[in-house]
Structures are given as structure tokens and as C-alpha cells.
Amino acid sequence: MFDFYRVAAICPKVMVADASYNVDEILKKLEDAYQENVAVIAFPELAVTGYSCQDLFFQQALIRAAGEGLSRILSATSGHESAVIVGAPALVLGQLYNAAYVMLDGKLMGVTVKTFLPNYHEFYEKRWFNSADALPVKDIYLSELGITYDDEDVEDYSVPIGSHLIYDLDGKLKFGVEICEDLWAPIPPSSVMALAGAELIVNISASNELIAKRAYRRNLVTQTSASLVCDYLYVSAGAGESTQDVVFSGHGMIAENGTLLTESSGCIEEEGVLYADLDLELLRSERMKMKSFGDAADHYRGLTARSRVVTEASPQLPESDGTLRPLRKHPFIPGTKSKLKERCSDIFEMQVGGLVKRLQVTNGKPVVGVSGGMDSTLALLVSAQALQKMNRPASDLIAITMPAFGTSNRTYENSLELIRSLGTEPVIIDIKAACIQHLSDLGHDGETKDITYENTQARERTQILMDYANMHGGLVVGTGDLSELALGWCTYNGDQMAMYGVNGSIPKTLVRWMIDTVAETEIFPKSTGVLRDILDTPISPELLPPDENGQITQKTEDSVGPYELHDFFLYYTLRYGYAPDKINFLANRAFKDIYTPDVIMKWQTMFTKRFFSQQFKRSCMPDGVKVGSVAMSPRGDWRMPSDASVKEWLAMLEKESK
């Protein structure tokens, strides 16, 4: 479903050199994994015999037992569409190889052989095994590997054997296998396989435990998954291996494009199972956009030519519903308080740094229209901090508040208090009379609360900001955020326009936490109290009159829907290019306890329509600092024709709603 596939990294109990016992344990784990709808199941390096057999690998009894064990495992996979990867020795023309056997539905797809063998410290694999580079053949019969079939009517057959095999499961999932030390090489086989099309890399390993080695492995796996834009499954031998000189930990990890999806928790484990749901659409989207990935595939075509694709029809390859994937309601916001504070502090510094550079170039004074709402508050704080960084007086900050028809007492008083707490005096320009005159000039009755009535106020404010900046050598700092840009919830040539925007790549759900972080860290200690009240104020454009008590009546989220939903839609639309039906599926999972499917569908439909229809406002947005991977600058991050049709997107949503 939506290209979600579940994988398993399984560390079974092991008895060194007891293949019968080890296969029994593998089969127990295998049966459990089949119940979990798993597409790919991986066991550790040399799991059939145990990794630490040493010179026992030269014993024919062990090699024969390994072949018998592989035959049992192969038979057990019959009737199942899950790919199973298990480690065992391979005897090829009288020479031993450390190998991974890949099985599917009772058939051996191929044998991947380890290329880079450790020959240092406690590991002397070259004493027992040969590198894949020494393989004298490219195909081998099962009988030559000591594998037999239960069904005597089935004829012996040959399978590919080598180091750069890519297993293609009916075009649905492509994976490659490397073995332990292969990953540590300067150019590991996984690099070649990924450039040749492998989306999942499986590493079956037997890595001993040392102080700090676990962290090193984790960094290596996650970084490899990032540089190769792939999923990476790592499973290592457990504590049942020989402890003659070392101890093994059973370390397991599953990473995706630089993110660790899951990891075994114990430092030393005898056995364990890890499951994770991979999102192949995510990887395909990243690779499609990352042109350096395609360029690398072209550049290293000589290397990728070494890869060999092994195709096997698997029409019933198990798909997952993705429920094991971590899914946050607020994807722009880190999951922990400490990370959130760090993230917000870093973004604030980036905003400040961008504005400082622009002020240095223009030698201007920051001019901010202050409404008492969160967006203008954040822009004002950034401007004040930029002046501090430049050792310029707070009085250089030109903060203008412009009350009009919809201004409430609360936001008006908060704007004045905030401006003064930052060490400058507010410029107060009441625009009601100017707006009334303008509406009269248009022939508008001034009573009808239509779009002209509302936008007249927004454009009057922008005109004042621009002209006041001209009078005082200023630079108008834009206040609009990323969520407003996505929805087009701004007045064209009104609050949509500025000379430099500092909030343009910050979503509405994050703006709140940005201000909260500034208040908590007391960058401006005199402002803490008013910042807290601003955070408690409902989001509103304040373009319609307040009630008889001066309170806000026009609440943005009543009109356009919850910003937490829109930011969710925005993130998955821009970051990964997901189709509307997949985004809807994820939204219903993430918000199942908050919104009904009908409510989610309603607001997603609105988001989709506005996202297309309002592109013309984004096409001429001002310069601004980019702080995250999701941004909408027409000069780099998001280029879209203003007259594009939304028909196909809405059709998907309509189909999903039925």
C-alpha cells in the first residue's frame, strides 16, 4: 500500500558449529516473521554455522551440515512471497566463500559473496575464505552448493553467484546484499548496487562489540543510507557466538536516507527481532530530485556495469500499511523539547544572519508593520536582534502599528508594549480614515464586508510601510510565513509584498515555538510577558470589526481550517511529492484522535485548490532567508506555472472520499 514494505532484521540464538540447532532457531524466527507480513527477512552473517567456527570451517562435516541446513530453510520458504537472506559458507570448486543466500518461495534466487575480508586483530577471515573477486564462476548449481530439494521431480538448477547482485522482486522492490566488512571498505559494494538501482541494502554481519564501536556502526549505517539515498538494514551475530577472545552483541539497525528508523536496545543480546516499514516512494522521490545521484550513476557507469540484476516474479510480495513508521502530526517540529529549543534557536540565528547581511548591503533601518500577531512579532524580534548583532541602536528599529477597522484592543496594546520593550518607540498611524476615503473613491459603500473591504486595509498598510521606509532610509521586513504562502492567505501587493522576508520558509506551526523559544531563553527579558500573551491570542488577520467588547471576531482557522493540518499537507506535498491520496491516508493516521476523515478531506481539498490557484502570489514573492528543506521561493525551491490545472489532484481526492 503506497509502496510501504516491512522488513525484518533477525538475530536468532546460535550454537557455534551446530547447524541443526541454528537452523531450528532460524525456522522459529522465520515463521514468526511470516505472520508480520514482512517482505524482506535477514539473518546474520554465517548464521547457519555460527560465525566464530574458525578452523572448523575446514571440516567437511560442518560444510555438509551447512548444506543440509540451507536445504531445510529453502524448503521452509516454499509458499511464502517474502525474500529471506541467510548467511552460510559456500564451497565453490574447492574454495570456501563467506556468502549470503537469498531465497523466495522455495527457490534460491542467488548467492551474494563477501568481497572484503578482515585480516587483522581477532579476525583472520582470509585464513578460511576467499574474496568474491576470486570466484571462478558467475553461476552455480544448487547441488554444487550441497543444497537438495525435497521434491525429487524438481530438476537441479543454477543461480547467479557474485558480489554485486541486485535482487528485483517483480519490479516492486530492488535490494542488494553486502556482508559485514564490505561496508567498511572505501568504496563498498553497496555504493555500486545503489547507483545501479538497489533501493534497499541488506548487510548481514558478525561485528564484535567494543567500547564506542556501537556508535561508530550506527553513524556508518545512517550516513551510508543518506549518501546512497537508500534504506539500509543491518543485522549482526548475537552473544551466542564464541567468546574466546571477543563478544558479539546482536546489534541490529534499520535506517532510511540518513534517519535511523529502529535499533536494537540492548548492548549485548543473544537474540532479537527488529521490524520497520520502508517507504520506497520517499526514496524514489529523493533520488528523482537529487540530480547528483543520477550524475554519479553516469560517472561511475564502469563500476555499475559490474552489477547483475536477478529478477524473480513475486506478484504477492507482502505490502505493509506503514503503521510501524514514525509519523508526527507536526513534521516541521522536532519531537523532543530539547531538540525543539535547539532547532528554534538555530533558525532564529539564520533569520537574523540573513537580515544582517541585507541591512549591511542597503545600510537601511528595518521597518516592520506590527499587528500584535505572531508573524509580525517574530519579524520584529528578528529585526531587533539583527540591530544588536550590528551594534546599532535599538532606535534604528522602525516599528509601525496601523490600527484599522478590525484591530482589537488586545492586539493593539500588545503591539505597543512589545515595541517599547525592545527599546524603541512605536510609530502609530491610524489608517481608518484613509481606507474610508479610498473605498469612497472606489464607489464602495464602506459597509459591505467583502474582499475589497478587507484588502483595502492590507494594501494601505503596505503602502505606508514602503513610503515610510523611503522617507527614513528603511527596508521593509516582510512578516508572512510559509503556511500563508502555500495557501495564498495574504493580500496580493499587500502583506504579500516586502523588501526582504524573514519568515517566508517558516510554517505557522513553528512560528509559535520560535516566539516561545525567544521568550524562554530571555533574549529580550523585558518582552517575555507580552510575548506570552501574544502566543495566547487567536490567529486573525483582523480585517473585520471586533465585537462590542473589542474582542477578535475573525479567526483565520475558522475560514481556512487548522494550520496543523495545512502544514502536514504542505510538508508531504513539497518534501516528497506524495500524491493526495497518500497524504490523506497519512493524515488520517496522524490525526485520527483529533479530526474525522470528513474534516480532513474538507480541509485537504481546500488546501489543494488554494495551493494551485494562489501560485501567482508566490511567483513574485520578495527575497528571504531559507531555513529548511521545505521552501517556496520561485527562484530556487518551488517553480510552478500559475495557471497549472489542479484537476488530477482533486480527482484523486474525490476517489479517496468514495
Catalytic, 425? Answer no
Catalytic, 271? Answer no
Q: Within a 10 A sphere around the Cβ of 265, how many other Cβ atoms?
A: 9
Can you tell me the distance from the alpha carbon of 42 to that of 233, in angstroms, rounded to the nearest whole number? 8
**Which candidate, 440, 429, 441, 418, places its Cα nearest to that of 466?**
429
For residue 136, give the amino acid letter.
P
Catalytically annotated residue among 25, 81, 114, 230: 114
Can you tell me the distance from the alpha carbon of 452 to that of 446, in angstroms, rounded to the nearest whole number? 10
Q: At what angle do helices 409-421 and 374-389 cross, to 10 degrees?
A: 10
Residues 380 and 370: beta-carbon distance below 8 Å: yes
Burial (Cβ within 10 Å: 0-12, 13-18, ≥19) of residue 116: buried
Catalytically annotated residue among 11, 53, 180, 435: 180
Strand pairing partners for 119?
A: 124
Q: How open is the CA angle 67-70-76, to the nearest 5 degrees?
A: 145
The cell for 604 is 485537504
For residue 283, give the amino acid letter.
L
Can you tell me the distance from the alpha carbon of 427 to that of 503, in angstroms, rounded to the nearest whole number? 22
3-state secondary structure of 368: strand
Residues 206 and 44: beta-carbon distance below 8 Å: yes
Burial (Cβ within 10 Å: 0-12, 13-18, ≥19) of residue 169: buried
Residues 27 and 254: beta-carbon distance below 8 Å: no
Query: Left, alpha or beta for 257 (phi > 0: left; psi -120 to 50: alpha)?
Result: left
Can you tell me the distance from the alpha carbon of 161 to that of 66, in angstroms, rounded to the nearest whole number? 17
Q: Within a 10 A sphere around the Cβ of 583, how many other Cβ atoms?
A: 26
Long-range Cβ pairs for the range 97-102 (8 Å, 24+)? 97/129, 97/130, 97/132, 97/135, 98/45, 98/46, 98/125, 98/129, 98/179, 99/161, 99/179, 100/45, 100/177, 100/179, 100/202, 100/204, 101/70, 101/73, 101/74, 102/165, 102/167, 102/177, 102/310
Catalytic, 45? Answer yes
Can you tell me the distance from the alpha carbon of 39 to that of 36, in angstroms, rounded to the nearest whole number? 9
Can you tell me the distance from the alpha carbon of 492 to that of 622, in angstroms, rounded to the nearest whole number? 12
Catalytically annotated residue among 45, 241, 286, 454: 45
Q: Which residues lie closer than 8 Å to 463 by C-beta, 6 or more apart?
A: none
Q: At what angle do helices 563-574 and 597-613 cross, to 10 degrees?
A: 60
Residues 49 and 88: beta-carbon distance below 8 Å: yes
Strand pairing partners for 367?
A: 398, 476
**Which candidate, 131, 124, 127, 84, places its Cα nearest to that of 104?**
84
Q: Rg for the chain (alpha carbons), in Å?
A: 31
3-state secondary structure of 148: coil
Residues 317 and 209: beta-carbon distance below 8 Å: no
User: Which residue numbers are catalytic?
Assistant: 45, 114, 180
